[in-house]
Every structure is written in structure tokens, then in C-alpha cells.
Structure 1
Amino acid sequence: MLLAIDAGNTNVVFALLDGRTIKGRWRIATDPRRTADEYAVWLSQLLALEGYARDDVKGVIIATVVPRALHNLQVLASKYFRSDALIAGRAPLEWGIAIDVDEPASLGADRAVNTIAAHALYPGDLITIDFGTATTFDVSDYSGAYKGGIIAPGINLSLDALVTAAAKLPRIAIEAPETETVVGRNTVDQMHIGIYWGYIAMIEGLVARLKAEVGRPVKVIATGGLATLFERHTAVFDHIEPDLTIQGLAIMWERAHIH
């Protein structure tokens, strides 16, 4: 089986895959200081709880947007899984798609992997929205080429900034307001409205602008833990794929071992 690792700014996600089927999925807070030994103790216990052992892992693939975390993850692969990890975007595992932007090397690994997965799952022009630490909008064309996109503050970042900068505002949970009114009658309701409906307005507005600029029919694919939070109150998503990055890593692994 394959161990796919997606190291993001907030969490590192580990997924155990049999082909493209996810058998287990675990996450831990991103900390570049975390050692391979610490990862191994934590992950071995979680594998065992699901009925698996380290020996079941035959390969490791990593995508990371946190360069300082990479070394310890590579050591984890070599020391505890006896595998030289493949690193998404690095030889011999290049993207295999055109990165049609001004600075291709600056594209985050997660965004490239998401584009690969989205193109494999859905034909045509696509907008892929990933709700993570930042909310990213990525545009790819019918050939699978990455054309560019948008980076916006994630909803958690937006709320943290608001609460930090305004001393009297309380910390609230990120959730859909109980009603669809946008006239809040108290401070907490007004904050829920501003964060939730304001974020939906941003998503819908940016997607509308992107679609107009592409000028052809476009499917919108959403991923990331918060995608389902907005699903009930907007029709902007055509598909939600919670595990898009992991699926992309599985696809890249397949391609590396077919050719």
C-alpha cells in the first residue's frame, strides 16, 4: 500500500491507500521541528488501530508547501518504512502538466497536485477551490494546463485577524448562521453574518469573474475541510472532493510506476 503525505501550513495529512482507495486518513498539526521518530510513534499507533502495520506500506509520496518539514518526513519514510519517498514536483516525479504562469517554480505543490487530480476526474475547463489556511482558486484548461489563480485569506485567518484586532469582539465558532437574514441583532450574530455570508459573497463573486474571464463552460471543484460548510448555502460548486490532494498524489504515484 501507499502512504501519501500532504504537508500543509496548518496540518500534515497522512493517508494509507490501496490503489486509489483510502484505507485510513490521519492528520497532525504542522510543526517543522517534529522529528521522524515522533511521527513514527504517532503513526504506528494509528495504523495499528486500523489493523495495519508499518510493513504494509510499500511506498511513500510527499507533497509539501512547508520546506522545513520535508527532511523529517523523508527520514520517516527511509527509516521506518524502508522507502525513498517520491517528492511531488521533483525529479523523477515532475508534474506532467504545463504550468502556464509567470513563475512556475513558485506554484505550491498542493495546488499543482489538486489540478492534476481535478483534471483526471473531470474533463474540460476547471476552477478548483481549496479551503485551507489560505483559500486558493486555481484555473486549469481542457488540456490540464495550470493557467493561474487567486490566493485569498482563509476563513479562519480572517476570523483570527478580526478578533485579534478588535479587543471587544469575542471568538466565535465558524458555522452557518441559524437564519439567512443579514441584519444581525447582536454582536455574535453580526460576526457570524459577516464571516459566513461575507465569505460566500467572496467565493461567488470571484468565481463569477473567473468564469467570465475564461469565456468557456467551467466546472467548479471544491476541496478542503471547510468546503462542506458552504455547500448548503451556495450553488457555486459543481463537485466537492474532500480528498483531492490525496487523490492527486495517488495518480502521480501510478504514473511514476507505469512509465
Structure 2
Amino acid sequence: MTLSPARADHRPVYIRIAETLRARILSGWYEGRIDGELPLAREWKVSRRTIQQALEVLVAEGLLVRRHGLGTFVNPKGVETRYRAITSITEAVAGQGLTPEFRVLASCPEAAGAEAAAFFGLGDGAKVYRHRRLVSAGGRALAVVDTILNLALLEGLDLSRLDTSLYGALRAGFNRTVVAAEDRYIPALAGDDIAPLLGIAAGSAIFLALRRARDQTGAAIELSRISMLPVALDISIRHVGFPSATVAPEARQWAYTVGFGPFGT
């Protein structure tokens, strides 16, 4: 793989190499030990020192660990720690010590609507994958999750029997990891379609979460609409900046977490 000259990119070469290696790590390209410095240097036609700089970025991020005499390896705990902030509703429920339960309401390809076609960059007549399910815990309905997925990235997708985390399934089955999401959380009223599923009266107050998400390659992969019982939100945002202008924005750490809950009370 070589760096594309099609678009002007004035970032240091080692930063661009680190970006590509980061995407490989998240996609599952490397299961353990990554390629050595010399093969990587030949691949990108750069010096060994440039590769070392790229690897140092990822070691500092916690995505890689060096083992003396053995090489450089993916750090699973580092991957989980850095990207755990982008969670699905399943992970939010499980994070509160509850055991999520599911009932699939719809799971099949369908014609792309205008919003999905625009976000995913699809042409006329394209299809998307719609997955709609009820999430419960302790016998109590908590949320209706209506998700549209970019089928162009997920050939052969079938979630009709999914009983685990959606994000876990996308990563395990397609090497797609959600690493960027735009979320909106707004109050709403339960309509006639949502209210019976949540066991509440039509017109009752609910919370609506809207998500537009991208995977590790930057591709648009998910549109979700989550209708949930009213819960308190705890939103935390952490930015870690660097005073040095030589550190590229891509190498700076940031994280946010959204706490839904407590569910089931």
C-alpha cells in the first residue's frame, strides 16, 4: 500500500502511515504481531526511522506494545480502552450490571430512504439493511432500537438471530469498528408504534437518541433511532491537547462517554 498522491496532504508522512496502521489494527487486519519495520519501510518506500516514528505514535496511544526481541504487537486492552467510548445501547445496558435481552422486530434489506442514501453516498435503487429490535432487561422493556446499516460495506449481512451487541457483530463478522459517532439526545413522545412495545401509554414522555456513525476507514456505516424510557443522562467529554504545534491533531487523544441510566428503575 502506498500513500495516494491524488489529494494534497501536508501532514508528516509518519502521521499518515500511523493513520493507516491504526485503521488496520481496528479492522482486525493484524491479530497479534504486526509487520516488521523493514517490510513496512519497503511497503511505503520510506526510511526505517519514519516507520519507527509511526509506530511510536501508536505505542503512545496504547494500540501497540513492543516486546523486546519479539517485535511489535496489537494491544487488545489498549484498543478496547481507547474506543470503548463509542458504545451501542447493548453495551450501555450491560455497563450497568444488567443482562440485556432482545426481540428482533425486523431484520432485512430494504430500499434506501433519502436520508440513508445521502449519508451513505448511495445511488438510485440501492438497498440498506434495517435492523429493528426491542431491548429489555429483567423482564422490562427499555428501548426500541431502529438501525439502518450501509449494506454496501456489509455484503451478506444477516442479523435476524442477533442476540448480542450489534457493534460486536460488525467487528467480528466484517472487521468494521465504529470509531466516530454524531449523537443527538432529545425528549419526545411515544407514538402508537413505540408505546405498546415499551409498555407505556401513547403520548408518554420518552427519550430519543439519534446516531450517525462511521467506521475505522471513515465510511458512513450506521443511522440509528433509539426510543427509550426516560432516563437521566450523564455526558462527560475529555479533551487532551498538546502545547506543541508539531503534534498533529490526529495524534491527540479525546474521549466522550454517555451514561444512560439507571435503566430498570
Is this a same-fold pair by TM over 0.5?
no
Please, what TM-score do these two structures have when normalized by structure 1? 0.29
Higher share of residues assigned strand: 2
Higher share of residues assigned helix: 1
